[in-house]
Amino acid sequence: MSAALRYWIGGTLGFIVALLVWGYVTYTSPGPLSEPTNIVIPKGIGVERIAARLAEAGVIRYPRFFAMMAGLLGETRRLRAGEYRFPAHASQRVAMDVLIYAKPVVRRLTIPEGFTTAQVLEELARTDGLEGPVDAKPAEGSLLPETYNFSYGDTRDEMIARMRRAMTETIDTLWKERAPNLPLKSPRDALILASIVEKETGIAEERPHVAAVFLNRLRRNMRLQSDPTVVYAVTHGSGSLGRPLSHADLETASPYNSYLYDGLPPGPIDNPGRASIMAVLHPAESDDLYFVADGSGGHVFAKTLAEHNKNVARLRRIEAQPGPMKPSASPSASPATGAASHP
């Protein structure tokens, strides 16, 4: 073997070794990302665009090298779309492992108790990471308010289906465990009354007592006379009225207006939470038929109209006191149950 050939072979081997060392160092060395970052890899893009996306986000320096390594290692088809969290200074190897093995980032959507279906749809529409429209508006009261986990790219219709399934399972389970002798004929009746209780008080301890008042009125064939039902009638379920109820509002001709119509409204007025459903199915032991705001965020209850009128008069005196802070008398903190609530 000639000296020239030996030099050529030696130089070639040296170059190959140097190239392999450079490749290994490039593949395994810390990357430029300064802090952990969530990055979305869109669906339907190839390895070159994935590599470019990682480079744009500052995860890797050499996108062509990343794409080449994915091909050499046979990992091209294993790289997944979705949202992933890349650690600070992730190497190209770590970045590739994230796209192959890591779980997608978990996002959370919280639906507050008492949201109407219209409000739920508004919340879904502005939630980043969800895709697609809602094909059909769900029925009022059919969605369970709680916190739901989802991944980037999940659809809004999928979220609606989960909420509907959760409500169905909840009401069916709780109905089977209900207290005896309730004046409710079906799980739907319980859901309707729970939606009213949900709007009447935001204090957890009061819900069974408020539920007891309405159940007592149903037993006596008394109209529920609940302000939130009037709000629903006036707004057609769009949400808050944004002002106190007026005498004209109380005359709204709607089957949801429990001041004008007997019994329960024809449907729920919002999407109640589990606690309000429980309160309706396991009410407090009470003979009370009325309640009114107490001026401090809660309510005071009464068995007779005379006692109730005294409580209403007390509230009006509190409201008349000067000062920057006034007790709420909004429909969401219903001033009272009963026509005497409204002077």
Where in the chain do CATH 3.30.1490.480 domains reside? 28-101
Q: How far is CA 247 from CA 61, 201, 256, 318, in A?
A: 69, 22, 16, 21
Give the tens place of pLDDT for each residue, 40-80: 999 889 999 999 999 999 999 999 999 999 999 999 999 99
User: Do residues 264 and 225 touch, judged by C-beta distance below 8 A?
Assistant: no
pTM, two decimal places: 0.82
Give the tens place of pLDDT for each residue, 212-222: 999 999 999 99
Amino acid identity at 95: A
* CA dihedral (136, 141, 144, 145) positive or negative: positive
Give the tens place of pLDDT for each residue, 128-169: 999 999 999 999 999 999 999 999 999 999 999 999 999 999
Q: Report how far residue 80's alpha carbon sits from residue 46's, in angstroms, rounded to the nearest whole number.
A: 10
Q: How far is CA 144 from CA 58, 140, 147, 156, 274, in A?
A: 40, 11, 9, 15, 8
Q: Which two tokens stand for residue 125?
A: 């529409």
Q: Look at residue 6 in the predicted model and tell me its pLDDT.
A: 61
State mean pLDDT over 21-38. Answer: 86
State mean pLDDT over 282-292. Answer: 96
CATH tag for 28-101 (out of 1.20.120.420, 3.30.1490.480, 3.30.1490.100, 3.40.640.10):
3.30.1490.480
Q: What would the DSSP string read from start to end of 26-52? A: HHHS--S--S-EEEEE-TT--HHHHHH
Q: Look at residue 309 in the predicted model and tell me its pLDDT.
A: 94
Q: How far is CA 31 from CA 69, 84, 93, in A?
A: 16, 16, 10
pLDDT > 60? residue 245: yes
- What are 110's strand-pairing partners? 147
Amino acid identity at 1: M
pLDDT confidence bin for 330, thresholds 50/70/90: very low
Give the tens place of pLDDT for each residue, 93-125: 999 999 999 999 999 999 999 999 999 999 999
Q: What is the mean pLDDT of the chain?
A: 89
Q: Which two tokens stand for residue 26?
A: 């490039």
248 CB burial (10 A radius; 0-12, 13-18, 19+): exposed
